[in-house]
């Protein structure tokens, strides 16, 4: 996630608290000069409980970043892992515009079908 520099310390402090409460082994790294940081959340993918805790943690972190005037992702755009936050971050009108552009450029839905801007 990425937040304005003025909110970075608050965001990292709250994130560290969330990470500690999750009970999961997590590393926080970043190139914070631009407000951008990442979590490496270590989970056993076969453990439903760990996956659920990691997903819940991710939702809280993204909601926090957006509430602080930031973004769910500061580098690579919205991927499949952050797709559920696209409308919360950009608004319904912007997502509708994105869908319209996608339909205009790819009317047959051949490029990354079902990804990025699902119908």
One DSSP character per residue, the chain reads -B--HHHHHHHHHHHHHHHHHHTS-EEEEEEGGGTEEEEEE---TT-HHHHHHHHHHHHHHHHHHHHTT-BS-SSS---GGGGGGHHHHH-HHHHHHHHHHHHHH-TT--SSTTSSS--
Per-residue confidence (pLDDT) for residue 67, from 0 to 100 = 95
Domain count, the chain: 2
Domain with 60 in it: what CATH number? 3.30.70.2740
In a shared domain, residues 85 and 60: no
Dump pLDDT digits (tens) for 3-59.
999 999 999 999 999 999 999 999 999 887 888 999 999 999 999 999 999 999 999
Dump pLDDT digits (tens) for 92-109.
999 899 889 988 999 998
In a shared domain, residues 94 and 70: no
In a shared domain, residues 60 and 87: no
In a shared domain, residues 50 and 9: yes
Q: Which residue range(s) make up the domain with 119?
A: 78-119
In a shared domain, residues 56 and 19: yes
Q: Looking at the predicted structure, is the pLDDT value of residue 116 above 90?
A: no
In a shared domain, residues 65 and 18: yes
pTM to 2 decimals? 0.81
Q: Distance of CA 15 to CAs 3, 45, 58, 66, 89, Å?
A: 12, 22, 10, 13, 19
Last residue of a domain, one of 76, 95, 110: 76
Per-residue confidence (pLDDT) for residue 8, from 0 to 100 = 94
CA distance 62 to 71: 7
């Amino acid at each position: 996630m990425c937040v304005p520099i003025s909110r970075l310390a608050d965001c990292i402090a709250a994130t560290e608290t969330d990470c500690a409460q999750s009970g999961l082994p997590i590393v926080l790294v970043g190139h914070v000069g631009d407000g951008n940081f990442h979590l490496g959340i270590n989970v056993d993918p076969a453990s439903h409980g760990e996956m659920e805790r990691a997903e819940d943690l991710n939702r809280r972190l993204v909601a926090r970043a957006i509430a602080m005037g930031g973004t769910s992702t500061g580098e690579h755009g919205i991927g499949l892992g952050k797709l559920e936050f696209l409308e919360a971050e950009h608004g319904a009108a912007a997502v509708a515009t994105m869908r319209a552009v996608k339909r205009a450029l790819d009317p047959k839905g051949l490029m990354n079908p079902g990804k990025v801007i699902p119908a």
